Structure 1
Amino acid sequence: MSTLADVVLPLPLYKYFTYRIPSDLQEALQIGSRVVVPFGRKKYYTAIVVRLHDVMPQGYEVKELISVLDERPVLRRPQLQFWEWIADYYLCSVGDVYKAALPSGLKLESETTVTLNTDFEEPDDNRLKEREWMLLAALGKKSRMTVQDLEKESGMRNILPTLRVLLEREAVFVSEQLKTNYRPKTETYIRLTFQQGDDAALRHAFECVKQAKKQEMMLLSFLDLSLFMQKGKLREVSRKSLLDRSGVSSAVLGAMVEKGLFEPYKKEISRFETEVYTVQEAAPLSNAQQVAYRQISDSFKEHSVTLLHGVTSSGKTEIYAHLIDRVLHEGRQVLYLVPEIALTTQLTNRLRKIFGDKLMIYHSKFSDNERVEIWNTLLDDHSPRIVLGVRSSIFLPFGDLGLVIVDEEHETSYKQYDPAPRYHARNAAIVLASMHGAKTLLGTATPAVETYFNARQGKYGLVELKSRFNDVELPEIIPVDVREMRKKNRMRGNFTPELLNRMQVALDGDEQVILFQNRRGFAPMVECKQCAWVPKCEHCDVSLTYHKRFNQLTCHYCGFTYEIPKVCPACGQPTIGVMGFGTERIEEDIAQHFPNIPVSR
């Protein structure tokens, strides 16, 4: 039996560390399990076991791990292998990947707490200084605080040197406490105190409440609700549902608990919808879609990755739905990646109608508790599921992936820029799929250059869908050379005559117009016309955006705002002007060109 364990810590460390396994934990320890280990000075972290062995390392003292947190591993095969690939390919540590992959609620970390020594007496020959008294006064309000809370309470910065002095004089004690953010969601449920089928006990219950009409009403409501919700099992009903159904107060329920008829208890429930959906079959495919579907199936026989190059509105999502349905019927799982959260909302209703509760959503707007719940669901439930999510979904503990769909594969949102790991979810998803023996479908109307090259070279399969659904014509695109128009002095403000004419035609036909501009605010930059001075954010060193509505400059990185100067601080001249145009300026200009048309931004 192995006596040593290599673990990965949630720290940017480029090696695994070895810990001794206590004899009473050797049988319980498995690869992929979380363990609490000491690291550094009085710090404890949640580490994950990556290897069990008996080879003593050289160069450092082997410490003993504190405890095992899991009865079953929180990672599946081949997640550790996938983490190692990301660390190697994107030049970061496995600890960086661990921090990004595992929800915070599954990571225990120690938190330094400071406790007041109530027996401390100040000696006459060594009086405390003012800062030390201020800290003790702040600590006296709660007697135990974290270092961060103590800084806030005292209003002092850099309190560690002062704390060190108080610690040496035994005025305070410092300890480490393990903390986690995850709390399962619970709800109060009500059940009968006797077993189902005990007719004598049920008759006795009705005898107890026959003089109290409201209690009798609640008992009948319990039986109705329990039979309806649980198909004949008189076991449990949520407290809220029971009160809503019976229409009586909680005091009546309390009286029935005192009589020994009902028993309340806490039950862990899901944070997500538990609605039962009426599913329907995916919409039938058009002839062009059927051809593309068959070509994708044939391509998967020869290639592990296939590019579906389909024009806008060609019905790629319907093809995805049929492919997903096939994989789910095979008992496997599907990962459906989209580049941004807005698309998960848009697709949820469409996919929910077809796949019901087999659909799971995962993105960064979920709370940490919700992410932990999704993680645990995938660990414990082996049924076929489809996960619709953004780039972080690739780290979920899939049991048996059968298909990975990367929608809008060309989108730059799939690239994580900061912090590490700086991975590209599309490329990482292809590797993840190969580790599960799954196929990857890349869908887009405008393939990335590297993807299209790989498809043309035969590395990926290529399927093209060139017609829109129901043979709807593609919109006409009219490119206009704005630079040339400016040279000829034909621009009307920031608009070309062609654009204004087309807008007028649409408005005359009682139609609407959408203008896209990829800059916020009134102008993306402010510059002195005399000396070319440009104001920049003192925190981010980027040029500031001018917002006319608030008459201020804003940094779109950190959100800091600045007053716009009346004169240039470099040359002292009142020659500060705006450069370029954003949505705010477009809105103002449109109102001048079309004064009777309402404009929304």
Structure 2
Amino acid sequence: MLDFAQPLHNERETLFVEVILPLAIAKNYTYRVPFELNDSVAIGKRVVVQFGKSKLYTAIISSIGNQAPEKYEAKYIIDIMDDAPVVNARQLLFWKWLADYYLCHVGEVMNAALPAALKLASETKIVLNKEFEYNKADLNDKEYLIIDALEIQPELSVSDIVKLLGQKTVMPLLRALFEKNIIHISEEVSDKYKPRRRTFITLNPVYSNPESLKELFTILERAPKQLDALLACIQLSRKQKLITKAELTEASGAGAAAIKALIDKEVFIADERTVSRLMGEEHELDENFVLSDNQRAALKNINTQFADKDVVLLHGVTSSGKTQIYIRLIEQMLASGRQTLYLLPEIALTTHIVERLRRHFGNHIGVYHSKFNDNERVEVWQKVLKGDYQIILGARSSVFLPFDDLGLIIVDEEHESSYKQYDPAPRYNARDASIYLGALHSGKVLLGSATPSFESYYNAKTEKYGLAEMPERFGGVELPEIQVVSITEETKRKTMQSHFSSVLMRDIEEALAKKEQVILFQNRRGYAPVIICKTCAYSPKCINCDVTLTYHKSSGKLHCHYCGYREDSPSICPACGSAHLEHKGFGTEKVEDELTILLPDARIARMDLDTTRSKMAFQNILNDIEEKKIDILVGTQMVAKGLDFPDITVIGIISADSLLKYPDYRANERSFQLLAQVSGRAGRRGKQGKVVIQTYDPTHRVIAQVISNDYLDLYNTEIVERKAFKYPPFYRIINLDIKHKDPEKLYHQAEYLAIELRKHFGDRVIGPEFPLINRIRNYYIKSIMLKFEKDTVSIAKVKVILQDVLLQFQTTNLSKGCIVQPDVDPY
């Protein structure tokens, strides 16, 4: 363990510090410490250093010594930014492990780990915080100059401020202004997350006795709308504790003016509160909730297995009440004084969990995710560092926070691909990283899922992990009724209406008649995936990537979903001049468009990447579902996660084939997970839901397994194939993507690299082959796959050899202009 005690150095002793720079460089650099800063240096503190000819960076001290570097003359550090370390010993060990395991540089890990404001560099942009009022009289001369310049020019880089002040030691000044909330770091400037506020209405207790209520009725006879509102309030209060203003308006039909008049007369008391964005969970917010027999058994099982297992997998069907078990485990950690990290795959999709946990744990809980601006992220970082937060709820980047004593990590929906970062490096998986992080802190890890990843389930079955199971839904609610519809048969009988079968249309219409809600899932956004010329078969392609462009009706343009390129949709074929252009395939936009024609009275909304780009768009859609302003929600994978509303009773899967026929060894596993998760959105509040799966292949094995909710059958059949064809969990995979702008040079580079790798690894090297998409952003790509036996080959030794081969390859003239991207455990 690294020693973080403040060193006592001789004031004339020459010290050297090795620092981590936020750059993709192979080795850490060593800098000399000026004598006057000897007593201030400590591992984990930030220092300002010059790297290259003139660029300044904020680096982290990783070690302190007396040895000068042999190969180059050490420059002096310019300044020390911190009074106390901002990174602790375990974090530095964690960063080193991530860099070694995922074959990247520790500087890349640092870049991903630290909020932007903690790693200021020459080109970092600084802007004024316009929402904050400050007194210029409180600023020193240099701070005043910086603020004065920012008022004239709205954005300055750190190097601009260096020139303005005529000194290199500007970072501490910027840190001070940042801590006073006067400036923002422009990379992370975004609107502050706003909690949801709702107005609740209660009858004034003055009118609780019959006489006063009778008198009130007499007074309100001349105001019939107000009388209707009063009667509706009394009726609703008999059924439920909390009545929202929106519910009262709908139930009474009285209108907002009548309710406001009663509030003004103090007949009603209006109470504005911060609430969950998903009111469907309100029944679970009760602080004194009681676990069911199944939940108690699972909790006891988990605690028993934690005695000799560091990792336990909780396999519970959708809506089995896993969150309540998490809360009980967090309570245990809180009582022991240790910290808890609660990881969620996508924080935006599960904002209601924040309020549920805050109701239980108050100020002990902190939240860390991409919706926070940089000031907020740094504030959370500092509070975790000081031990102010004992519980952190967050997305995958939360693993980088400066925990001191992490006793429990909960990874909810552990199978989700959102835990994997694909670009840029480090290409880490937060679930796997959590297991190492838990071990660093001698803590426990709980993986939770209704459809676990095969790797986790295999580890549980082979007793590497513990296993706890919850096969029943909470409250005894039945799993939804699933019906499979053959698109081929319905097309023959001419009962398909556009992309909707007669069965699905009937169920949608019945749900709408009962004022219930519907979710339709189509795993492709846009309007039409392909535009094709009927005469010459021309199809527009992206100029930067080897993909066809997708037509989006909302913009009237063709979009590339890989690089963002757009162009106008052609009215005539650019190749042959024909006017016969056809739209092939369909995405969420087309489903929404055609539903509007088929069901003109239905209120339809769409949830995909295009409709949720703005910060509050996702929450606004959720609010509209909750307030029943939406009858039918059409969406991509986003609708499979986190939606939990009592009135969603019908789920339609428009085309299951796009999942099942995907060319990937995980296609069946991912299809089952997604179909089971989508199906789990139906009937979660005492009503059995209906799910309609439309497919060209109704006899497909995975669909049968989804219908019977038979995860074990899926696992047992797939695991045999995984072993036979050398895939995880029996083999480890490392992918190498070789990229170059010249396809011919790429061919020679990839072949050369594969030959070099085969000298060491033999037939474990597969490729090079073109991936499904062989050009992205003007870089042509070839992939080499490496497969290694999990139990008999040392992956650590493999990585050492692989790094040597890649280093040797990069020193040859052949590698000029080439990018090699390793991806460990790529799927």
Q: Deviations over 1:482-514 (max 9, x none)?
A: 356557766432122322232233344443322
TM-score, length-scaled by structure 2: 0.52
Match of 1:574 among 556, 574, 579: 579
The verdict on how the C-alpha distance between 1:459 and 1:479 changes in structure 2, with shifts beyond 3 A counting, is: farther
User: 2:813 matched to which residue of 1?
Assistant: none
The verdict on how the C-alpha distance between 1:146 and 1:358 changes in structure 2, with shifts beyond 3 A counting, is: closer
Structure 1 residue 69 and structure 2 residue 81: aligned? yes
Q: Select between 298-307 and 61-70 the one with higher mean Cα deviation.
A: 61-70
The verdict on how the C-alpha distance between 1:451 and 1:342 changes in structure 2, with shifts beyond 3 A counting, is: same
User: 1:364 matched to which residue of 2?
Assistant: 370
Shift in Å at residue 450 of structure 1?
A: 1.1
User: 2:472 matched to which residue of 1?
Assistant: 467
Shift in Å at residue 299 of structure 1?
A: 1.1
The alignment partner of 1:109 has SS state of coil
Match of 1:417 among 419, 422, 444: 422
User: 1:306 matched to which residue of 2?
Assistant: 312
Task: Summarize the alignment of residues 548-587 of structure 1 with structure 2, pairs less than 5 Å apart.
Answer: 548-587=553-592
Shift in Å at residue 472 of structure 1?
A: 0.8
Partners of 2:363 and 2:589 lie apart in 1 by: 43
Q: Which runs of 5+ in 1 are unaligned?
A: 114-138, 151-171, 188-272, 274-278
Match of 2:507 among 494, 499, 502: 502
Q: 1:319 is matched by which residue type in structure 2?
A: I
Q: Deviations over 1:107-128 (max 9, x none)?
A: 2323599xxxxxxxxxxxxxxx
Q: Select between 444-453 and 532-541 the one with higher mean Cα deviation.
A: 532-541
Counting matched residue pairs gives: 464
Q: 1:302 is matched by which residue type in structure 2?
A: D
User: 1:38 matched to which residue of 2?
Assistant: 50
Partners of 1:519 and 1:387 lie apart in 2 by: 33
Structure 1 residue 407 and structure 2 residue 412: aligned? yes
Partners of 1:542 and 1:559 lie apart in 2 by: 12
- 2:342–2:411 Cα contact (<8 Å) kept: yes
Match of 1:387 among 392, 400, 411: 392
Partners of 2:357 and 2:524 lie apart in 1 by: 33
Structure 1 residue 295 and structure 2 residue 280: aligned? no
Shift in Å at residue 85 of structure 1?
A: 0.7
Match of 1:458 among 460, 463, 483: 463
The verdict on how the C-alpha distance between 1:145 and 1:388 changes in structure 2, with shifts beyond 3 A counting, is: closer
The alignment partner of 1:463 has SS state of strand
Shift in Å at residue 146 of structure 1?
A: 6.5
Q: 2:523 is matched by which residue type in structure 1?
A: N
Match of 2:94 among 78, 82, 85: 82
User: 1:398 matched to which residue of 2?
Assistant: 403
Partners of 1:375 and 1:173 lie apart in 2 by: 30
Task: Summarize the alignment of residues 127-276 of structure 1 with structure 2, pairs less than 5 Å apart.
Answer: 178-179=170-171, 180=174, 183-185=178-180
Shift in Å at residue 439 of structure 1?
A: 0.4
- 1:522–1:582 Cα contact (<8 Å) kept: yes
Shift in Å at residue 31 of structure 1?
A: 1.0
- 2:122–2:159 Cα contact (<8 Å) kept: no
Shift in Å at residue 387 of structure 1?
A: 0.4
Match of 2:107 among 89, 95, 101: 95
Partners of 2:156 and 2:348 lie apart in 1 by: 38
Partners of 2:181 and 2:568 lie apart in 1 by: 49
The verdict on how the C-alpha distance between 1:82 and 1:62 changes in structure 2, with shifts beyond 3 A counting, is: same
Match of 1:443 among 448, 458, 464: 448
Q: Deviations over 1:29-82 (max 9, x none)?
A: 111111112211022211111111223322211122122221211111200010
Shift in Å at residue 582 of structure 1?
A: 1.6
Partners of 1:348 and 1:70 lie apart in 2 by: 32
Q: 2:575 is matched by which residue type in structure 1?
A: A
The verdict on how the C-alpha distance between 1:148 and 1:541 changes in structure 2, with shifts beyond 3 A counting, is: farther
- 1:344–1:389 Cα contact (<8 Å) kept: no
The verdict on how the C-alpha distance between 1:434 and 1:145 changes in structure 2, with shifts beyond 3 A counting, is: closer
The verdict on how the C-alpha distance between 1:480 and 1:456 changes in structure 2, with shifts beyond 3 A counting, is: farther
User: 2:594 matched to which residue of 1?
Assistant: 589
Structure 1 residue 15 and structure 2 residue 15: aligned? no
Partners of 1:282 and 1:521 lie apart in 2 by: 46
User: 1:354 matched to which residue of 2?
Assistant: 360
Could you say what the CA RMSD is over the residues aligned between the two structures, in angstroms? 3.1
- 1:333–1:403 Cα contact (<8 Å) kept: yes
Bigger Rg, which one? 1
Task: Summarize the alignment of residues 274-285 of structure 1 with structure 2, pairs less than 5 Å apart.
Answer: 281-285=287-291
Q: Which runs of 5+ in 2 are unaligned?
A: 1-8, 126-148, 183-273, 275-284, 607-827
- 1:87–1:94 Cα contact (<8 Å) kept: yes
- 1:36–1:44 Cα contact (<8 Å) kept: yes
- 1:110–1:176 Cα contact (<8 Å) kept: no
The alignment partner of 2:485 has SS state of coil
Partners of 1:63 and 1:461 lie apart in 2 by: 52
Q: Select between 57-66 and 362-371 the one with higher mean Cα deviation.
A: 57-66
- 2:122–2:157 Cα contact (<8 Å) kept: no
The verdict on how the C-alpha distance between 1:574 and 1:86 changes in structure 2, with shifts beyond 3 A counting, is: same
Q: 1:369 is matched by which residue type in structure 2?
A: N
Q: 1:55 is matched by which residue type in structure 2?
A: Q
Q: Select between 370-379 and 322-331 the one with higher mean Cα deviation.
A: 370-379
Partners of 1:466 and 1:112 lie apart in 2 by: 52
Structure 1 residue 373 and structure 2 residue 379: aligned? yes
Shift in Å at residue 86 of structure 1?
A: 0.6
- 2:367–2:393 Cα contact (<8 Å) kept: yes
Partners of 2:549 and 2:153 lie apart in 1 by: 46
Q: 1:430 is matched by which residue type in structure 2?
A: I
Shift in Å at residue 280 of structure 1?
A: 7.6
Fraction of identical pairs, as percent:
50
- 1:360–1:387 Cα contact (<8 Å) kept: yes
Task: Summarize the alignment of residues 313-352 of structure 1 with structure 2, pairs less than 5 Å apart.
Answer: 313-352=319-358
Q: Deviations over 1:246-266 (max 9, x none)?
A: xxxxxxxxxxxxxxxxxxxxx
Structure 1 residue 4 and structure 2 residue 12: aligned? no
- 1:110–1:177 Cα contact (<8 Å) kept: no
- 2:78–2:168 Cα contact (<8 Å) kept: no
Q: Select between 407-416 and 20-29 the one with higher mean Cα deviation.
A: 20-29
TM-score, length-scaled by structure 1: 0.71
- 2:383–2:389 Cα contact (<8 Å) kept: no
The verdict on how the C-alpha distance between 1:353 and 1:112 changes in structure 2, with shifts beyond 3 A counting, is: closer
- 2:435–2:445 Cα contact (<8 Å) kept: yes
- 1:528–1:568 Cα contact (<8 Å) kept: yes
- 2:123–2:159 Cα contact (<8 Å) kept: no
Partners of 2:169 and 2:389 lie apart in 1 by: 40
Partners of 2:468 and 2:98 lie apart in 1 by: 29
Shift in Å at residue 24 of structure 1?
A: 2.3
Structure 1 residue 545 and structure 2 residue 532: aligned? no
Partners of 1:540 and 1:423 lie apart in 2 by: 25
Partners of 1:110 and 1:591 lie apart in 2 by: 52
The verdict on how the C-alpha distance between 1:408 and 1:419 changes in structure 2, with shifts beyond 3 A counting, is: same
- 2:121–2:158 Cα contact (<8 Å) kept: no
Q: 1:72 is matched by which residue type in structure 2?
A: A
Shift in Å at residue 575 of structure 1?
A: 2.5
Match of 2:38 among 26, 49, 65: 26
The alignment partner of 1:421 has SS state of coil
The alignment partner of 2:551 has SS state of strand
